[in-house]
Chains A and B, each alone.
Chain A
Amino acid sequence: MVLKLQQSHHHQSVAVKGNEQMGTKRGYTFIQSNRDWLPKLILLWVMVMGFISIWIYKKMDADNNVRREEVLSSMCDQRARMLQDQFSVSVNHVHALALLVATFHYYKNPSAIDQETFAEYTARAAFERPLLSGVAYAERVVHSGREKFEKQHGWTIKAMQREPSRLRDEYAPLIFSQETISYIESLDMMSGEEDRENIVRARATGKAVLTSPFRLLGSHHLGVVLTFPVYKSKLPPKPTMEERIVATAGYDIGAIDVESLVENLLGQLAGNQAILVNVYDITNSSDPLVMYGHQNQDGDWAVVHESKLDFGDPFRKHQMICRYHQKAPTSWTALTNVFLFFVICLLVGYILYGAVIHIVKVEDDFREMQELKVRAEAADVAKSQFLATVPHEIRTPMNGMLALLLDTDLSSTQRGYAQTAQVCGKALITLINEVIDRAKIEAGKLELETVPFNIRSIFDNVLSLFSEKSRNKGVEVSRDKTNRKPSLAVFVSDKVPEMVMGDLGRFRQIITNLVGNSVKFTERGHIFVKVHLAESTQPVADTKVETCLNGGSDEGLLISSACQFKTGYEAADERNSWDSFRHLVVDEELRYDAPVNTIDEASRGFTLMVSVEDTGIGIPLIVQDRVFTPFMQADSSTSRNYGGTGIGLSITKCLVELMGGHISFISRPQVGSTFSFTTVFKRCNKASYNDTKKSIVELPSGFKGLKAIVVDGKPGKQNGHVFKLPKVILLAKNITNVELEKAKAAGFADTVIMKPMRASMAAACLQQVLGIGKKRQAGKDMLNGSPVLQGLLCGKKILVVDDNMAHQRVFAGALKKFGAPVECRESGKAALKLLQLPCCFYACFMDIQMPEMDGFEATHPIRMMESKANEQMNGGMDEDSGRKGEWHVPILAMTADVIHATYDECLKCRMDGCVEAL
């Protein structure tokens, strides 16, 4: 039965989870859900902005108009006020004239005034009344006094139409008049109906009274006639209307040329051209009469200002209407501003739209990418699975082939072919193993085990493996009489503990890979492996040593009297030069006696530093940065010359990183490469050490304290061990049996050690020579080489649940082999009964596919039960004690499916792991 503990592959489940999260996010962004509205939205935006622009324009225009109106009203009011002032000045003059007439005509007897005087006076004083086209005086004549009056003046009273006036109660013939209007002399002012009313009104109120506007007789200008009463006698302080009428002596009349008055006035003021002024008599509000200005003149009727005019006549109302000559000019500033605003809004809208479109596009792309990513990941997972499964399928038949290849008796030719086939097959299996490793690492399935092992024996083993290869190589190369085989050597620092805890297989694989590479690419010089603790790498500068070192170490150290290290070839890494190496040794030598507190350090991990130095072809500079990339060799010709897939170093790197270390290298083309890596191991505690000690072919420590000198004829090669006992061991590279016999016969040596010297071989020789007996441990009682497993499982009760009887039986048999008492059950239900608390099982293996209740279903109630029990237990105690639950039976799923989904499912059901049962 092949059991494989499937290792957790968290990164995969994380990736899947990530995808799910992405999935939930999908289609929920605001922009995405409203993308169809975008064109409508932008249209709406433009429209809204258009409306806002128009509104702003209106507002600015209105402001403008208000300002215009204000200007207009102030101008209009100013004109009205001035007109009023001018008018009142004229009225005052008429008043003054009335007083003059009263004073000189009535109070003097006889009258001090006649037509001539009046005319002259008024003509001379005309500059004071520029607006009055003329003034005149009409006397009040009652009907009874008409004849006397006519006789006195010598003319008859005439009506307006120049015919003699009809009979009336009263007449008001003009007796004095200014020269300019002398043609109206002797006209009866009361003959016209309106004039008559005016006169009556004036004398009743004692104030100036105006007529409605009419065309003046002389000038054809529009004008009004001002009538002012003249009283004969002095009036009492508050005269009644009757008193006034009685006292009336006559009427002062002035014709005011309103048109020229206004014209004159407007001429004096600035801004005259801009506005049009109309003056109306609005006594009859339904029919306003024009006093000034043209009714039909063009102008801006939009802005009109009306100002009230008070010409001193309470019965008449006048008003001035002003408006602009031209329509309000289009406000270019407002228009420009608004236009700019609109353009900016459009641009902003466009930018937003563009951004949103871009976001949509990016999101679409993102989604597409995500899909592709998911697909790529799926493809990657599929590839990994393929890689993880296919080589298995290849390896199994391959093993069968290789096993059977040389089983039968074959002729020598056949055997030769078969051997070749076997070698090729082995190479193929190595490659397949590498691919499997790679796939496992990629799938995160590689799990490191922790077993105690002896570092030195590992190096010893590896070296012996390669010394074989390198010897072959040396033979081949030495055909051209230049014996250029590379020498192999290992130095393990004394500080490195003998037994360490770690993954033996993987560590060995790393060493094998690196040394294998070095051997492959090195044809001359040396390959030197150096192992020491990472803490002691600092070389001690000032220490000097001479040739010989006392052997404090339990391995035959490779020390030469020559200062140049070993083969005289330069190494790539100067740090590794012989000098520093020597210092290192001495340094450690000096520190060796210091008491080490092993108990403290026992549980602590330590970092081991291993460097593999060679004098091979080196790595070209351009490919140095992709040395650790899988399937990458310096160039394709390399694989032709040296073989290999280029996968080894990438696996090595992964392994080193898994073991908590890191790998680096220094390489100089044609000089050599030095690969260094660190790994973290735990110190081995005594108990497990004792367990495994028997199983490992260990180097006898009986040589400790023996002094040895290594003598080499060629500088840089260790050639002989000379003991204080006269025992001589010959070291040789290649030695024929004949030579060996010869040597032995000569008594020269007791035995011969083939180079390169390995610790175990040296030890065996020494044992042989020195007669130290060594008891071989029989490895018979070990199945599958797992004494650790046996120790682990011994006496532990285990439950196996499987409906397949054969399967169950086999599984139980395998577990029993490791000393575990096994209980078997056929179904999940039966297992449930057994697993009731308190349960005594160390672990439970459960088949997933079972009728009635499968493994997942069975696990669920067990876990529920356990968590309930744990809660109760923890509830009884203090919460802050933080103790974890006690009850937890490890449940391991058994399945033939090795797909990841199954494993994920297992974890989901809170199983503890998954056993792959092939």
Chain B
Amino acid sequence: MDVVNQLQRQFIDYSASLHREGFLDDQFTQLQKLQDDNSPDFVVEVASLFFEDCEKLINNMARALEQQQGVDFKQVDASVHQLKGSSSSIGAMRVKDVCIAFRSFCEAQNREGCLRCLQQVTHEYSLLKNKLQTLFRLQQQILAAGGSIPVVE
């Protein structure tokens, strides 16, 4: 039981740090609450959907922004919008914040700014992915040890 306790404590601390550092917001907590016996892998499922989505969108944007001339800002904007929606629905706050800045650059048709933002988004995304994977690993460890995942308030 000690191990479970320790793991649980670790889990709580870790998710608290994620919240504190602004990677995640309340929305993620809500997601965790939605997870129950009927859908035990709900959060993981949603997260993986999000990751897929993100990768696809980031690739799209990168392709669109590669052109030296005549960048289709509309398309980029649509992608950013999608990304913003996805990130806000999972509660990825930092990604969402970058998306907001990204969109303003898109509207201004500023390629330089867009590229900078794309870089940031990619960075934030990979950071988040790592963090979440760690979190899920912890979760699995807790479950494997026979504990229950504590509810983070």
Q: Which residues of A contact B (CB under 8 A)?
A: 1-2, 396, 399-400, 404, 407, 783, 803-807, 809-811, 813-814, 816-817, 849, 851, 896, 917-918
Contact = CB atoms under 8 A, between A and B. Distances in A.
Contacts of A814: 30, 34
B128 interface: no
Contacts of B16: 407
A399 B19 CA distance: 12
Could you say which interface size class chain B belongs to?
A: 20 to 34
A806 B34 contact: no
Contacts of B27: 1-2, 918
A790 to B, nearest CB: 13
Contact of A804 (B26, B30, B42, B53): B53
16 contacts: A1-B30, A2-B27, A400-B19, A404-B20, A783-B33, A804-B53, A805-B52, A806-B86, A809-B46, A809-B49, A810-B89, A813-B39, A813-B46, A816-B34, A896-B85, A918-B27
Contact of B46 (A783, A806, A849): A806
Contact of B34 (A399, A803, A813): A813
Given A404-B20, A807-B86, 14 more contacts: A396-B26, A400-B19, A400-B25, A407-B16, A805-B50, A805-B52, A806-B90, A809-B42, A810-B89, A813-B34, A814-B34, A816-B39, A817-B36, A896-B81
Interface in B43-98: 45-47, 49-50, 52-53, 78, 81-82, 84-86, 88-90
A807 B85 contact: yes
B31 interface: yes
Which of A399, A805, A814, A917: most chain B CB closer than 10 A?
A: A805
Contacts of B84: 896
A917 B38 contact: no
Contacts of B46: 806, 809-810, 813
Contacts of A917: 85, 88-89
A855 to B, nearest CB: 13
A310 to B, nearest CB: 115
B42 to A, nearest CB: 5
Contacts of A810: 31, 34, 46, 89-90
Interface of B: 16, 19-20, 25-27, 30-31, 33-36, 38-39, 42, 45-47, 49-50, 52-53, 78, 81-82, 84-86, 88-90
B42 A806 contact: no
A2 B26 CA distance: 9
A918 B88 contact: yes
Contacts of B33: 783
A249 B38 CA distance: 170
Tell me what chain A mostly uses at the interface: helix, strand, loop, or mixed: helix
Nearest to A815: B34
B150 to A, nearest CB: 15
Nearest to B35: A813
Given A804-B85, A806-B53, A896-B84, A813 B90 contact: no
Nearest to B27: A1
A715 B47 CA distance: 67
Interface centre among B39, B42, B89 (most CB of A within 10 A): B89
A806 B38 CA distance: 18
A809 B85 contact: no
Nearest to B48: A806
A352 B35 CA distance: 80
A813 B20 contact: no
Closest 10 CB pairs of A and B: A806-B50, A807-B89, A805-B49, A806-B49, A806-B86, A813-B34, A810-B89, A809-B46, A804-B85, A804-B86
A777 B20 CA distance: 34
Nearest to B92: A806
Given A813-B31, A813-B34, A806 B39 contact: no
Contacts of A804: 53, 82, 85-86, 89
B89 A816 contact: no
A809 B45 contact: yes
A183 to B, nearest CB: 136
A803 B78 CA distance: 12
Given A2-B27, A806-B53, A811 B89 contact: yes
Contacts of A404: 20
Contacts of B50: 805-806
A30 B34 CA distance: 67
Contacts of A807: 85-86, 89
Given A1-B27, A1-B89, A816 B53 contact: no
